[in-house]
Each structure stands twice: as structure tokens, then as C-alpha cells.
């Protein structure tokens, strides 16, 4: 309904909030039950309402019927168990006959509704249409052959990180991994709504891959989608630690303008490793041993303990090798960046972190 406004144009009246709330409840119940079950339940509820009205009128002389609530109580108990009191009129007995017929139907409808809902939940989960119900997890945005290797490496660790939940957000038809701790969300990592379904606002870490799961996508477009994904993550959860794969090294400058925590330029690293391996033979095997789990030695960041604060790098190097059988290779200061193989007289300070090479999580 509309009327003229101050400028002569008709002004539309907004629908009451109660109407919107009722419509929202209606849609929620309809989606929960499905079309067929919704109609069946509506028929049963309608017959119950008619039964209550008939009892309230026909049984008004029954001492057990005091109000409409007494009639409603009688209908509900008759439908699920047995009548709480005896009806005394022919109309009341007719309602009881109908409720007796509806009793097995109501149980069947309840079972069917629960079964349908659980089946729908399973279908949504397998197809990635649901939501991630985890926190402090790792979100892998996009998918490629590297995704399976990433999950394998995470699960191969010998620390608490191996059991951290992982959520894969990618435009794939089904879950690309069979890992039990990994949840698949079907969606576009560049869309904020899909990132929220993946729980990016509660995530601890995000790994953004150069996604080649799209049809007919080229390298430049992969980097463009990656950049948009990083910007979306930063806007939704600035505290999330982001590790980003960049295909072309020339595009790294664009990513440096974002607040991404780690940039891995795949072409640059691959080319550099191949070149150095050609000169320093066997280097690729050493690097592979340090970067892959579970065999061999790995890198570990460890806070400088109190007994090493104030000591030199040379003294800490000898002490760590003697006591913990690990090798100190770099030191990172609080907000000061890191130094690889610092001078022998470099002083370790409280709050610094040490990068160690060890076969397992070092206890220092």
C-alpha cells in the first residue's frame, strides 16, 4: 500500500518486522524438512488444530476440559501416548479415532524428518556446501597438486601441528583429500562469503595456492586470483598468518604491497635450486631432507631459553649441539628480522627465536 509523499511521489510502506520474522521461520522449517515432509507435517498439525477446536467446543461440559490448553494437552498426549482423560461426546470420540490413526503416522514423520535432515547434512558435507565448525585451523585456499603434499607434510610432523584441523576451500566438485582431519568447502577463495564458510575469521594460518583447478586459466590469471584472495583474507582476519604461492617472480612486487606474511615464488625457488644443484652437487637432496617430513632432519623455531639469554652465538652453538644434539643456523630478533649464521660474538637476547636443525622437536 502506498500514499503520496512530500515530493508528490508514492511512498511504499515497509512490511512489519513480524511478517519478515514469520517468513524466516517458515523458510527455515521448509528447508529443514524438505517439500514433501513439510506438506505432510502441515497436514498433521492442521488436523491437530482442528481436533483442539472441536474438543474445546464439544467437550465444554466435560469436567476435565477447563480451557483450550486442556484440549491441546489431550490432543498431544493422545497423539504420542494415551489420552489423559476420557471424552464424553460423539465429536470427542471422533477426534480420538482420528488421533489414533495419526499416531503411527506422526512417529513415521518424525523419523523421516530426522533421517532426511541427517542425509542432507551428509550430502552437504561431502559436496562442500556446509560450513567449517573448527577454529585455530589452517585454511588452504585453492587447489593444485601441491595441496596433497602440504597436508602430507603437516600430518607427518611429530609435534602438535600434525593434529591441527585443515579446511580446503576450492571450486572442486568433491573433497580432493581423504584426510580425516580435513574439511572440504566448495567455493571461490576470492569471495568473502565463501571464506567465512571456511572459518577464515577463526583461522590461525592461511595457505594461498596458485589455483589451477579452474578451466583454461593461465599463469597471470592465477597470480591475479591469488592476489585478490590475499586481500580478502587480510580484510576479514588481519591476524591470520598468510603463506602465499606466487608463480611469476615479476608479480612478487604486487604481493609485497599486501600484508602477506610469507611469499613463496615457486619459479624463482625452483630455478635457483636447479642452478645451485648443478654447481653444488647433492644440494637438492640436502634441501629435500630438511624440508620434508617425517624422515631426516627438519627446521624448528624455538624461543631462546633463559639459560642461553646473554650468551654468544658461538657458545650457544656448542651448548645446543652438546646438550640437545641440534644445530643452530639462524637467530630472529623481536621485530628485527633474522640473521643466518650470525657472527660468533652475536649476543642472544631474551625474546629472540633460534632456528634449529634437528631430527625431532628439540628440548632446550
Alpha-carbon distance 191 to 33, whole Å? 29
Q: Which CATH number fits domain 297-364: 3.30.70.1450, 3.40.50.300, 3.90.550.10, 3.20.20.150?
A: 3.30.70.1450
> Can you give the pLDDT at residue 258?
87
> Can you give the pLDDT at residue 164?
92
Q: Using alpha carbons, select from 29, 63, 49 the residue that is nearest to residue 99.
A: 49
pLDDT tens column, 153-204: 888 877 778 889 999 999 888 888 888 889 999 999 999 999 999 999 999 9
Task: Kindly list the distances between the CA atom of residue 239 and the CA atoms of 68, 235, 236, 288, in Å, as whole numbers in the listed order.
Answer: 57, 10, 9, 30
Q: Which residue has the higher pLDDT, 181 or 1?
A: 181
Q: Band of the pLDDT at 4, cuts 50, 70, 90?
A: low
Q: Band of the pLDDT at 81, cuts 50, 70, 90?
A: confident
Q: Using alpha carbons, select from 229, 222, 237 the residue that is nearest to residue 207.
A: 229
Burial 115-125 (b: 16+ CB within 10 A, else e): eeeeebeeeee
Residue 15 predicted with pLDDT over 60 = no
pLDDT tens column, 20-30: 666 666 666 65
Alpha-carbon distance 28 to 53, whole Å? 27
**Poorest-pLDDT segment among 80-89, 186-195, 231-240:** 80-89
**Poorest-pLDDT segment among 1-10, 19-28, 327-336:** 1-10
Cβ contact 78:100 at 8 Å: yes
Alpha-carbon distance 258 to 8, whole Å? 50
Cβ contact 155:162 at 8 Å: yes
What is this structure's pTM? 0.61
pLDDT tens column, 118-147: 666 666 666 677 888 899 999 999 998 888
Cβ contact 141:229 at 8 Å: yes
Cβ contact 321:313 at 8 Å: no
| Other Cβ atoms within 10 Å of 316 Cβ, number | 22
Alpha-carbon distance 198 to 186, whole Å? 9
Q: CB under 8 Å to 282, separation ≥6 — which residues?
A: none
* Domain ranges (residues) in the chain: 19-127, 138-270, 297-364
> Can you give the pLDDT at residue 1?
46
Q: Which CATH number fits domain 19-127: 3.20.20.70, 3.40.50.300, 1.10.287.70, 2.40.160.60?
A: 1.10.287.70
Residue 359 predicted with pLDDT over 80 = yes
> Can you give the pLDDT at residue 237?
94
Mean pLDDT of 331-343: 84
| Other Cβ atoms within 10 Å of 222 Cβ, number | 22
Mean pLDDT of 9-26: 58
Q: Band of the pLDDT at 31, cuts 50, 70, 90?
A: low
Alpha-carbon distance 313 to 328, whole Å? 8
Cβ contact 143:208 at 8 Å: no
> Can you give the pLDDT at residue 40?
67
> Can you give the pLDDT at residue 335?
67
Task: Cite the DSSP H helix spans in the chain.
Answer: 17-33, 35-58, 68-80, 90-127, 145-155, 192-197, 219-236, 252-256, 266-279, 283-291, 313-324
Query: What is the 8-class DSSP label of residue 347?
Result: B
Cis amide bond preceding 346, omega within 30: no
Mean pLDDT rounded to a whole number for the chain: 81
pLDDT tens column, 50-60: 888 887 788 77
pLDDT tens column, 313-329: 999 999 999 988 999 99
In sequence order, the β-bridge partners of residue 183 are: 167
**Poorest-pLDDT segment among 8-22, 123-137, 347-361:** 8-22
The superfamily (CATH) of domain 138-270 is NAD(P)-binding Rossmann-like Domain (3.40.50.720)
Amino acid at each position: 500500500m502506498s500514499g503520496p509523499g512530500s515530493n508528490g511521489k508514492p511512498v511504499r510502506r515497509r512490511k512489519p518486522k513480524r511478517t519478515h520474522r514469520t517468513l524466516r521461520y517458515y523458510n527455515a522449517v521448509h528447508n529443514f524438512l524438505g517439500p514433501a515432509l513439510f506438506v505432510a507435517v502441515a497436514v498433521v498439525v492442521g488436523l491437530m488444530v482442528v481436533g483442539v477446536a472441536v474438543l474445546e467446543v464439544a467437550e465444554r461440559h466435560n469436567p476435565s476440559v477447563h480451557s483450550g490448553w486442556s484440549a491441546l494437552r489431550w490432543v498431544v498426549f493422545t497423539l504420542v501416548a494415551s489420552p489423559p482423560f476420557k471424552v464424553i461426546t460423539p465429536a470427542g470420540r471422533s477426534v480420538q479415532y482420528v488421533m489414533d490413526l495419526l499416531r503411527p503416522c506422526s512417529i513415521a514423520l518424525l523419523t523421516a524428518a530426522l533421517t532426511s535432515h541427517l542425509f542432507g547434512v551428509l550430502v552437504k558435507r561431502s559436496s562442500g556446501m556446509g560450513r567449517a565448525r573448527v577454529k585455530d585451523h589452517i585454511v588452504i585456499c585453492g587447489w593444485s597438486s601441491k595441496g596433497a603434499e602440504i597436508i602430507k607434510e603437516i600430518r607427518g610432523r611429530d609435534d602438535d601441528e600434525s593434529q591441527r584441523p585443515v579446511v580446503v576451500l576450492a571450486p572442486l566438485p568433491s573433497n580432493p583429500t581423504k584426510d580425516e582431519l580435513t574439511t572440504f568447502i566448495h567455493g571461490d577463495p576470492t569471495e568473502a562469503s565463501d571464506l567465512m564458510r571456511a572459518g577464515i575469521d577463526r583461522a590461525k594460518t592461511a595457505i594461498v595456492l596458485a589455483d589451477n583447478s579452474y578451466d583454461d586459466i593461465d599463469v597471470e590469471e592465477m597470480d591475479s586470483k591469488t592476489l585478490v584472495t590475499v586481500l580478502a583474507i587480510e580484510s576479514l582476519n588481519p591476524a591470520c598468518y598468510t603463506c602465499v604461492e606466487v608463480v611469476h617472480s615479476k608479480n612478487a612486487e604486487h604481493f609485497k604491497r599486501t600484508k602477506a606474511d610469507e611469499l613463496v615464488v615457486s619459479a624463482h625457488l625452483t630455478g635457483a635450486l636447479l642452478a645451485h644443484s648443478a654447481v653444488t652437487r647433492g644440494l637438492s637432496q640436502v634441501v629435500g631432507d630438511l624440508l620434508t617430513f617425517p624422515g631426516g632432519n627438519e627446521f624448528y623455531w624455538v624461543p631462546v631459553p633463559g639459560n642461553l639469554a646473554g650468551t654468544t652465538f658461538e657458545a650457544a652453538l656448542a651448548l645446543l649441539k652438546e646438550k640437545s644434539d641440534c644445530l643452530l643456523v639462524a637467530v630472529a630478533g623481536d621485530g628485527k628480522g633474522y640473521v643466518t649464521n650470525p657472527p660468533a660474538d652475536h649476543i642472544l637476547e631474551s625474546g629472540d627465536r633460534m632456528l634449529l636443525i634437528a631430527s625431532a622437536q628439540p628440548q632446550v
